[in-house]
Amino acid sequence: MALADNDAAVVWPLGHLAACDVVLVNASRGARLDEVAAAFAYFGGRARFLPTT
């Protein structure tokens, strides 16, 4: 799924996902998606970060 920016990537799931859903954020740090993952952890209260290689 492509969204306009990282802010949209954080806001969109709030209205579309259930509490038991899982989101995988997989991209280079150049896209700064580590910031999106950090926002999910902050807003969700729980997150598990798994390295992808």
Q: Per residue in 8-39, pLDDT tens?
A: 888 888 788 787 888 787 776 788 888 888 88
> What pLDDT, on the 0 to 100 scale, is given for residue 21?
81
C-alpha distances in Å from residue 22, one per residue of 16, 18, 29, 30, 48:
12, 9, 20, 23, 10
Record the pTM.
0.60
DSSP letters along 1-53, please?
---SSHHHHHHHHHTT--TT--------GGGTHHHHHHHHHHHHS--------
The residues near 23 (Cβ < 8 Å, ≥ 6 apart) are 13, 17, 40
Q: Residue 50 — very low, low, confident or very high, per pLDDT cuts 50/70/90?
A: very low
Is 53 a residue whose pLDDT tops 80? Answer: no
